[in-house]
Chain A
Amino acid sequence: MLRRILALSCALGLVAAACGDDEEIGAGPTVKISSFNFGESQILANLYAEALTEKGIPVELKLNLGSREVVKPALENGEIDLIPEYTGTLLGFLKGSPSSDQNKTYEDLVTELEKIGLTALAYAPAQDKNGFVVTQATADQLDLTKVSDLAGKEADLIFGGPPECPQRDLCLKGLETIYGLSFKEFKPLDVGGPITLTALEGGEIDVALLFTSDGSIAAKGFVLLEDDKNLQPAENVVPVVRKAIADAYGDDLAKALDPVSKKLTTQALTELNRQVGIDGKDPAVVAKQWFTANM
């Protein structure tokens, strides 16, 4: 609160002394931060909001917007200014070709974003990819550690994942073309959510599509099969921002957000997800605690 008062006073030119503080950036356009419709995205949006507020940059949260199909036009129209994204999936969405090379995927992404009036700040080491997961019992019984271990055994196994999976290169299509796997049956469930988890735990499906940073994989003792043929591209967390806002703040946005991204490892992200998904904590509270402890 004090910081906000200081920032406001600074903007009005009331307290001259407070304006010299080099930690404070002061007022500029409000940054409208959004998120996708799943928990991890809300945590990340709150985390970046925390970092901007800390530097005195005014923010407004517009969370849970929906899927990428809804988010992209909202960014282009300026209804929102910033959203935590994933490099590989976004590049694929923009018709680029993501690879497992983190740097190249990021650079190609920035090139594509510039064409539509957007840009990306530094990416985090944290990644969140599509993961193929089995129970410990299945892993022991069939001797599975990596995805290619499924070869020759999958004809008896049921695969469960989101309804769009059969059409996606990073999902069933890729499992078939890259790994040569064709399962006994595909059960259309939810997007790495509670229905898929319950079905895997209850033995209704044998292999599930979950997200690699999902805290419940470890919490439930599931086994994440190693993507040994690199079907999944690099999926680093990255703040995507409107060019107009990035230009208005110059380097200040990067100064506020890059240190957060730099400290955000997959392990840290998984732990944050666990607190929200398993312990049922509020994403905003979890983000604030992490920020206070690490920044």
Chain B
Amino acid sequence: MDFLSEVLDWFANNWDGSAGYVARLAEHLNVSAVSVVIAAGLAIPPAAWIGHRGKGAVLGASLANLGRAIPSFGIVALSLPVTIWLAKRLPFIDSGLGFFPTAVAMVALAIPPIFLGVLTGVREVDQDTVEAGRGMGLSEVQLLTRVELPLASPLILSGLRVAFVQVVATATLGALVAYGGLGRFIVDGFAQHDDVELFAGAVLVAALALLSDWLFRLLARRLPTSRVVSP
């Protein structure tokens, strides 16, 4: 049997059960979505405020870019002793392996593109528009939430899109610390010299990343301030 038909065979036979690719896909999306939502919560408020004030923008952007230079596997490995320590003390976390260290690394990976998207988007809002809003008596917070953030939404969404696609492609690392997800097929396939499983896993991750990218672009086109922005 040639390689391609073995791969097709794999897809036909490995979809169900807790180790099937449907369950792995759900785990993969779970850690990716949770991480990007947390990263957005952490990155959007400071980025929006710095963008609005205009001060410290260069410093903020530099710090965010610096964050991009840290390899995600390094974060997984470094955070492992910390997550294990925390899991023993926090009752709502049942394990310091798996989801928790994976999510820590994925949040760190997602922060820079989200931060930069918001910062750039807010800074690039036409100052005349902002001044007009100020003239109408809007407070600084109102200016940000009613004028700047809506106008910046294409760039903000673009940042979220880049973050999510990167996280989907990188969450495979979770398999190194006993998490499930699609990385399981790649890591186990490599360790067991099962090229079919490894290849199938890689195909699934690539397909999921491309699909997410496409969905985000579709969403961006439907925004009222529709203007698709590429990074």
Contact = CB atoms under 8 A, between A and B. Distances in A.
Interface of A: 69, 160, 162-164, 167, 187-190, 194-195, 198-199, 202-205
B96 A204 contact: yes
Interface in B69-104: 77, 80-81, 84-85, 87-88, 95-97
B176 A202 contact: no
Given A187-B97, A202-B88, A204-B97, A162 B81 contact: no
Contacts of A202: 81, 84-85, 87-88, 96
A204 B84 contact: yes
B38 to A, nearest CB: 22
Contacts of A190: 176
Given A189-B178, A194-B77, A198-B81, A203 B88 contact: yes
A242 B183 CA distance: 38
Given A188-B178, A202-B96, A163 B88 contact: no
B55 interface: no
Interface centre among B88, B190, B191 (most CB of A within 10 A): B191
A171 B175 CA distance: 19
Nearest to A165: B191
Interface in B142-171: none
A189 B177 contact: yes
A191 to B, nearest CB: 8
A179 B178 CA distance: 25
Contacts of A187: 97, 178
A199 B97 contact: yes
Interface of B: 77, 80-81, 84-85, 87-88, 95-97, 175-178, 184, 187-188, 190-193
A198 B77 CA distance: 10
Nearest to A162: B191
A205 B177 CA distance: 12
B183 to A, nearest CB: 10
Contacts of A164: 188, 191-192
Nearest to A69: B193
Q: Name the prevailing secondary structure of the B interface residues.
A: helix
Contacts of B184: 188
A73 B191 CA distance: 18
A198 B84 contact: yes
19 contacts: A162-B191, A163-B187, A163-B190, A164-B188, A167-B192, A187-B97, A188-B175, A188-B178, A189-B176, A189-B178, A190-B176, A199-B84, A199-B178, A202-B81, A202-B87, A203-B88, A204-B87, A204-B96, A204-B97
Nearest to B190: A163
Given A188-B191, A190-B176, A194-B77, 18 more contacts: A163-B188, A163-B192, A167-B192, A187-B178, A188-B175, A188-B178, A188-B184, A189-B176, A195-B80, A198-B81, A199-B80, A199-B84, A199-B178, A202-B81, A202-B84, A204-B95, A204-B96, A205-B97
A198 B187 CA distance: 19
Contacts of B193: 69
A195 B88 contact: no
Contacts of A163: 175, 187-188, 190-192
Contacts of A160: 178
Nearest to B184: A188
Give the 8 A-B residue pairs with the shortest CB-CB distance, closest first: A202-B84, A163-B191, A164-B191, A187-B178, A163-B188, A164-B192, A204-B97, A167-B192
Contacts of A198: 80-81, 84
B77 A195 contact: yes
B114 to A, nearest CB: 29
